[in-house]
């Protein structure tokens, strides 16, 4: 096919390949990627230079944004006005720019994603720091090029007195590549640049002593210094960011009655309104539980998001879920791609960015020095001519007056006094009266000043070391003027996702369980110590037919094992039990355990602590000791209870009329004391009970009289010397008795008398092993509670009644005790 005019015959694949490459290079070089030297994309550079041309310095009046955008479009950037205005608006946004370059007046957008007002409404000028980007631009410090229609010249790069690429960072998507450079702290970057000048072989690791990490305008926290070093070393890598949030307690006069979370800083480039909306959606969908309300209380004083929690919600746990499921934690994927020499995109590490910038800075200073030297020499040359003219002022004036015209006068002066054409023109540019009145001293002083400047500039150009020192001084001066405090905190450790236990303090707590399977958790300080014999305080609101059955001390991180009357075992973590008040009813246990009909919890122990307040080792050879209502005992390895399913496990096989009542842990070499309701006790060596699997039924531990049952299981470890048993009876009486008063027997016997049981004392309720420095908390069936020091309870013999520990109301009785 023959050519028809300008139409050429080409293969479609070839044309597409070449055209796409041209387009890709245009986007890469002329739109999306910043220049490593000044850290600006072409549109940003054109905006700043246009404002410079318009005289919109920080001290000038504001001008309409439309005027600025119109000049940018007409002179340098023939693209859409919205794109240019958006670029200018971003330069003014303090939530996007660590150091804004444009000072905007009016609505320039918000962290909620609100768009800027139309350009006809807003006004702008340059920020004070922006002058550093344009310093000495008119001193031939940079190369210039034709604009799009070759009618004007525009700068190919700005002089940039500071490493702007690292100060404000950059985000851009080109063709086949993208850049994502975080902002940094000016003071830290300048310190690093000065260090590179002094140590040309410095490593990225060396620079990390100055540059702690990115410094985002929105503040927040970043984690894992090792990962930050890796990202800086390779020019790419993830950096974990987190907002700043705190769980707070309500004040006395606060309208908020429960715990609440306050978010005061959010990660960089997170939309605040979208974050709040996402949190609300997660709460509504049930992904995050325990949130009552989410409010945005931000104002001109700062960002503030308040998340009000429900009464029994755990704030730290909810905060962990916010980190996990929302943008309150997100990853900044650092990718430091920039144009080298304005044309070549490269992935650069931190040291390379500073190296290229300092190379640019050295070139700018050298060209500026050459410019200043050239102009100093030119002025000195003119001053030398003026000085010679003053030496011969009368004759010079005579020659000028006698000449026919300017050209004739120039020739005559050059011939008579050997002036150069430049000197002669300078003399002729002055009026004769001004020439006659010219003061010799001023000329000589200025000439001496220029000669000194010429010497200084010549020395600077001749010695690169001096030039580097000059650059260091300029950088330090910029730091003095514009350095500020770091906004983003850097933590050495990795953030990751904290487990619930990582976020919940390890502290003492009290677990309360009722016969009708209601459970709650309270702090030990809820119950103040009182003298023995007192009435105590209301410890729990119970229904008239419900009574407290378990009342024990544990750590918030303990694994609680719930053993049931049917011989099964379930598991929960102590902090999962809702924290309640002293008189609170608690929550139904079915919310936590998968109990069957007529299945009740009869034993409750913290797995990672000793029963009765002694620290419990957790070696593999430890055992779980279980005792039934009618005296059957079984010992099972503790490891068999490491993985308790949600549906529960069988702990031991029971006879049809028996129930599992007591459980304790043991190292396998202890003595065991079983105490009955009617006041009998037996002490025997644990080694007389062989270890069995979970499905076994056990052996006889104590022979009981008719109507009697086991009320206490105690494991006395080998290292416990002088231990006492605390016998508490149903009518509020109690006493301490040495364990040694109970002689060791073979298991299976009837035992010996542990207490003198009478109508006045009532039957035995519990007989725990205690320490003299502990305190005891006693709770009655009607919810009355007393806390008293154990040392106030006398040490008596086995066959005594004891003293009154708690005064009970008519119809009330002791239900349970625990030591703290």
Enzyme catalytic residues: 121
Provide the 8-state DSSP code for 5: T
Q: Is 32 helix (H, G, I), strand (E, B) or coil?
A: helix
Residues 6+ apart with CB under 8 A from 92: 100, 101, 102, 103, 104, 108, 124
Candidates 172, 173, 175; CA nearest to 19 is 175
**Rounded to whole angstroms, how far apart are CA atoms 702 and 353?**
81
Q: Is 637 helix (H, G, I), strand (E, B) or coil?
A: strand
CA 608, 614, 619, 625 torsion-angle sign: negative
> Taking each helix axis from N to C terminus, what angle separates 272-285 and 315-325, rounded to the nearest 10 degrees?
110
Q: Is 149 helix (H, G, I), strand (E, B) or coil?
A: coil
Burial 235-261 (b: 16+ CB within 10 A, else e): bbbebbbbbbbebeeeeeeeeeebbbb
| Class of residue 737 by CB neighbours under 10 A (exposed 0-12, middle 13-18, buried 19+) | buried
Candidates 31, 89, 90; CA nearest to 65 is 89
**Rounded to whole angstroms, how far apart are CA atoms 435 and 400?**
11
Q: Is 642 helix (H, G, I), strand (E, B) or coil?
A: coil
Q: What is the largest CA-CA distance in the chain?
A: 150
CA 585 from centre of chain: 37
In the numeric block, the tokens 């310190």 are attached to: 191
Confirm if 101 and 127 have CB atoms less than 8 A apart: yes
Alpha carbon distances (Å) from 42 to 87, 89, 187, 450, 454: 11, 15, 26, 38, 36
Alpha carbon distances (Å) from 93 to 109, 111, 115, 273, 773: 7, 9, 11, 17, 63
DSSP for 387-407, written as a single string: HHHHHTHHHHHHHHHHSSSHH
* Residue 126 C-beta-side C-alpha neighbours within 13 Å: 23
| Class of residue 31 by CB neighbours under 10 A (exposed 0-12, middle 13-18, buried 19+) | middle
Question: Hey, what are 705's tokens?
Answer: 């009289």
**Rounded to whole angstroms, how far apart are CA atoms 133 and 49?**
10
Provide the 8-state DSSP code for 777: E
Alpha carbon distances (Å) from 594 to 564, 576, 578, 656: 11, 15, 17, 22
| Class of residue 745 by CB neighbours under 10 A (exposed 0-12, middle 13-18, buried 19+) | middle
**Rounded to whole angstroms, how far apart are CA atoms 595 and 589?**
8
E runs forming strands in 527-567? 537-538, 548-555, 559-564
Question: Hey, what are 470's tokens?
Answer: 């000059």
Dihedrals phi, psi of 640, to nearest 5 degrees: -70, -10
Backbone φ/ψ region at 238: left (φ over 0), alpha (ψ -120 to 50), beta: beta
Alpha helices in 483-637 (DSSP H): 500-503
- For the chain, give the number of residues: 820
């Amino acid at each position: 096919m023959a050519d028809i005019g300008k139409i050429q015959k080409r293969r479609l694949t070839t044309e597409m390949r070449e055209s796409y490459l041209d387009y890709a290079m245009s986007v890469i070089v002329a739109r999306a990627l910043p220049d490593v030297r000044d850290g600006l994309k072409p549109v940003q550079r054109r905006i700043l230079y246009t404002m410079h041309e318009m005289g919109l310095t920080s001290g000038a009046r504001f001008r309409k944004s439309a005027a600025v955008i119109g000049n940018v479009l007409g002179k340098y950037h023939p693209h859409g006005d919205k794109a240019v205005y958006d670029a200018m608006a971003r330069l003014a946004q303090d939530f996007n720019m660590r150091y804004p370059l444009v000072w905007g007046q009016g609505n320039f957008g918000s962290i909620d994603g609100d768009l800027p007002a139309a350009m006809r409404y807003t006004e702008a000028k340059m920020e004070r720091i922006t002058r550093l980007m344009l310093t000495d631009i008119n001193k031939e410090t940079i190369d210039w090029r034709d604009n799009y229609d070759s009618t004007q010249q525009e700068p190919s790069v700005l002089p940039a007195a500071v490493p702007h690429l690292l100060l404000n960072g950059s985000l851009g998507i080109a063709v086949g590549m993208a850049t994502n450079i975080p902002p940094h702290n000016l003071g830290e970057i300048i310190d690093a640049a000065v260090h590179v000048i002094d140590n040309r072989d410095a490593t990225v690791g060396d620079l990390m002593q100055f540059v702690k990490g990115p410094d985002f305008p929105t503040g927040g926290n970043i984690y894992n210094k090792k990962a930050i070093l890796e990202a800086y070393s390779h020019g790419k890598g993830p950096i974990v960011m987190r907002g700043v949030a705190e769980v707070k307690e309500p004040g006395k006069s606060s309208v908020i009655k429960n715990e609440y979370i306050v978010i005061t800083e959010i990660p960089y480039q997170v939309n605040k309104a979208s974050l709040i909306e996402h949190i609300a959606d997660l709460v509504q969908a049930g992904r995050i539980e325990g949130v009552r309300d989410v409010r945005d209380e931000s104002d001109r004083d700062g960002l503030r998001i308040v998340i009000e929690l429900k009464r029994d919600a755990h704030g730290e746990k909810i905060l962990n879920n916010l980190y996990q499921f929302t943008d309150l934690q997100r990853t900044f994927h650092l990718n430091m791609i920039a144009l080298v020499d304005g044309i070549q995109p490269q992935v650069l590490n931190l040291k390379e960015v500073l190296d290229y910038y300092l190379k640019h800075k050295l070139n700018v200073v050298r060209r500026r020095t050459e410019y200043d030297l050239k102009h100093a020499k030119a002025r000195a040359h003119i001053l030398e001519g003026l000085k010679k003219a003053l030496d011969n002022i009368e004759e010079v004036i005579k020659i000028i007056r006698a000449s026919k015209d300017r050209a004739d006068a120039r020739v005559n002066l050059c011939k008579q006094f050997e002036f150069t054409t430049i000197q002669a023109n300078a003399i002729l540019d002055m009026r004769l009266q001004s020439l006659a009145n010219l003061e010799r001293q001023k000329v000589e002083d200025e000439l001496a000043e220029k000669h000194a400047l010429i010497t200084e500039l010549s020395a600077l150009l001749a010695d690169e070391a001096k030039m580097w020192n000059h650059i260091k001084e300029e950088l330090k001066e910029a730091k003095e003027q514009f350095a500020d405090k770091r906004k983003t905190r850097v933590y050495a450790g990795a953030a990751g996702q904290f487990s619930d236990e990582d976020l919940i303090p390890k502290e003492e707590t009290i677990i309360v369980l009722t016969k009708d399977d209601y459970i709650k958790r309270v702090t030990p300080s809820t119950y103040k110590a009182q003298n023995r014999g007192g009435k105590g305080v209301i410890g729990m609101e119970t229904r008239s037919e419900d009574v407290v059955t378990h009342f024990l001390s544990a750590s918030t991180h303990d694994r609680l094992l719930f053993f049931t009357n049917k011989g099964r075992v379930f598991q929960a973590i102590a902090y999962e039990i809702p924290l309640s008040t002293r008189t609170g009813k608690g929550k139904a246990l079915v919310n936590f355990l998968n109990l069957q009909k007529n299945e009740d919890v009869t034993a409750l122990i913290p797995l990672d602590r000793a029963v009765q307040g002694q620290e419990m080792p957790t070696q593999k050879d430890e055992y779980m000791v279980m005792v039934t209502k009618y005296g059957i005992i079984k010992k099972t390895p503790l490891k068999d209870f490491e993985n308790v399913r949600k549906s529960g496990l069988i702990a031991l096989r029971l006879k049809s009329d028996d129930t599992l009542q007591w459980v304790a842990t043991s190292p396998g070499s202890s003595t065991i004391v079983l105490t009955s309701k009617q006041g009998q006790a037996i002490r025997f060596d644990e080694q007389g009970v062989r270890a069995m699997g979970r499905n076994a039924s056990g052996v006889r531990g104590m022979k009981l009289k008719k109507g009697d049952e086991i009320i206490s299981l105690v494991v006395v470890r080998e290292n416990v010397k002088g231990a006492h048993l605390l016998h508490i009876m149903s009518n509020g009486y109690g006493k301490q008795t040495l364990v040694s008063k109970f002689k060791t027997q073979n298991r299976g016997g009837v035992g010996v008398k542990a207490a003198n049981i009478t109508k006045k004392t009532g039957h035995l309720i519990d007989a725990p092993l205690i320490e003299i420095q502990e305190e005891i908390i006693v709770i009655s069936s009607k919810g009355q509670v007393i806390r008293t020091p154990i040392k106030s309870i006398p040490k008596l013999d086995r066959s005594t009644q004891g003293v009154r520990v708690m005064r009970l109301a008519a119809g009330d009785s002791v239900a349970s005790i625990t030591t703290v």
